[in-house]
Amino acid sequence: MSSTEIVGALRRIKEKGESLEYANPRSRRALLHEAKALVTALEPAQDAVLRLLINQPTLIVSIIIAVNSGFFHALVNDGDDPKTVESLAKKIGAEPAFLARIARHLATETLIVETNSSDYAPNAASHLLRSPPMEGMAISMLEAMTPAIMHVPSFFRKTGYKNPTGRTPFQDALNIDEPVFKWALRPENLRLAKSFRVALTVKDGGARWYNTLPVEEILGRLTDPAAILLVDVGGNVGNDLIGLRKTHPSLPGRLILQDLPASIAMLNKDDLHPIEAMRHDFFTPQPVVGAKAYFLKTILHDWNDEKSRLILENLKSAMKPGYSKILINDVVIPNRGAGWYDCSQDILMMLGHGAQERSEEDWRSLIEGIGMQIRKIWDVAGASEKLIEVELA
């Protein structure tokens, strides 16, 4: 890029900065896009490639060491004042010389703040990395998915560089036959299963469909409080139902959380009340017939089209014509200009599940292929996932 183009990029940053609405995710993303374009123009291509090939893998190592050792807790506890490497090492039982190398690397990516040659202070990223959801994300991502990632080169050489249709790189790497979710429920994998459940609360910094969309327009308002308003199918710990109830406490109707027996057994029923917990495998017929809505939160991206059709068919059979609907809260990849989160998730789904993130065309093909139709795709401000409203054709 020429100096003239760089000056132009700086001008666009200034213009978008002056018109920035910080509370508006689109406004922030527009400014961030211009800032990244400037960085791309200024950074030599070789530096950018080396940063991806050398820095990113080793940074992952430093992050997981810091998470597992309790480094971020030690850094954040007792306030945000700078702390010496020696004092931090003593708190977590690490060798100071070893910890100094990890801390130095974390500081290069501003995950912590280097205040002196051996003093460090926390920042917003440090606080995030000591929170249970982000710790869960680090553990489940780095410890569960790393074997699959390391196995990728040999797997795709062997399969001829095609989308997985049978065994996945994850299954091949661990020499297992069951899907990831069943593997995670093995007793020896309990720590990873718990980490994954907590990690699901990380997405989009708390942006939720029920905070921004016209809920009563989408769900309707039931006149019978004993009627079933929403069934969260495969709903994990019930965060969406809990959030919906807190945000719209006067909304009438019962809320039901469904998940596998092992997942339901981990729940504290008192925390859920008045939400009802129910054991259910979504590959079997839906036992709740005639609910107003059935909710699928990032479920179908875990499964290929064949399995996704089965999940949807089971819901379709339970729906009341002219009344029931399915709400799919999932990524819709744009035809152009997809973001890093969507693309990263797409690759992870391929490696772990032989599945994918879908474009609007993919979603329509999947849903119309079983005799249903998309009524509307709602854009959820501040979230990667949209809300796809599906009804019987």
Give 12-53 pLDDT, tens digit per residue.
999 999 888 887 777 888 899 899 989 988 889 999 999 999
- Per the CB < 8 A criterion, the answer to whether 358 and 333 are in contact is yes
By residue count, the chain amounts to 393
What are the pLDDT tens digits along the chain (393 aa)? 678 878 888 999 999 998 888 877 778 888 998 999 899 888 899 999 999 999 998 999 999 999 999 999 999 998 999 999 999 999 999 999 999 999 999 999 999 999 988 899 999 999 999 999 899 888 888 888 887 888 899 999 999 999 998 899 999 998 999 988 888 888 888 888 788 778 877 754 557 899 999 999 999 889 898 999 999 999 988 989 999 999 999 999 999 999 999 889 888 888 898 999 999 999 999 999 999 999 999 999 999 999 999 999 999 999 999 999 999 999 999 988 888 889 999 999 999 999 999 999 999 999 999 999 999 999 998 788 999 999 999
Single residue among 130, 154, 181 that ends a domain in this structure: 130
Residue range of the domain that includes 188? 135-199
Single residue among 199, 226, 246 that ends a domain in this structure: 199
Mean pLDDT of the chain: 92
Looking at the structure, do residues 239 and 367 belong to the same domain, yes or no?
Answer: yes
Looking at the structure, do residues 52 and 117 belong to the same domain, yes or no?
Answer: yes
Looking at the structure, do residues 220 and 282 belong to the same domain, yes or no?
Answer: yes
Looking at the structure, do residues 303 and 384 belong to the same domain, yes or no?
Answer: yes
Give 238-252 pLDDT, tens digit per residue.
989 999 999 999 999
Q: What is the per-residue DSSP string for 165-209?
A: SSS-HHHHHHT--S-HHHHHTSGGGHHHHHHHHHHTT-GGGG--H
Looking at the structure, do residues 119 and 61 belong to the same domain, yes or no?
Answer: yes
Looking at the structure, do residues 359 and 211 belong to the same domain, yes or no?
Answer: yes
Q: What's the domain count of the chain?
A: 4
Looking at the structure, do residues 251 and 297 belong to the same domain, yes or no?
Answer: yes
Catalytic residue among 105, 151, 301, 353: 301
Residue 272: Cβ-neighbour burial (10 angstroms; 0-12, 13-18, 19+): middle
Largest Cα–Cα separation, the chain: 68
Looking at the structure, do residues 187 and 273 belong to the same domain, yes or no?
Answer: no
Tell me what pLDDT residue 206 has: 58
User: What distances in angstroms separate CA 279 from CA 19, 95, 365, one per listed residue?
Assistant: 50, 47, 30
Looking at the structure, do residues 241 and 383 belong to the same domain, yes or no?
Answer: yes
Residue 301 appears among annotated catalytic residues: yes
Looking at the structure, do residues 241 and 363 belong to the same domain, yes or no?
Answer: yes
- What CATH code is carried by the domain that includes residue 66? 1.10.10.10
Looking at the structure, do residues 260 and 112 belong to the same domain, yes or no?
Answer: no
Angle (nearest 5°) at CA 133 between 130 and 138: 75
Q: ω before 334 within 30° of 0 (cis)?
A: no
Structure tokens at 168: 């996945």
Single residue among 130, 149, 174 that ends a domain in this structure: 130
Looking at the structure, do residues 18 and 73 belong to the same domain, yes or no?
Answer: no
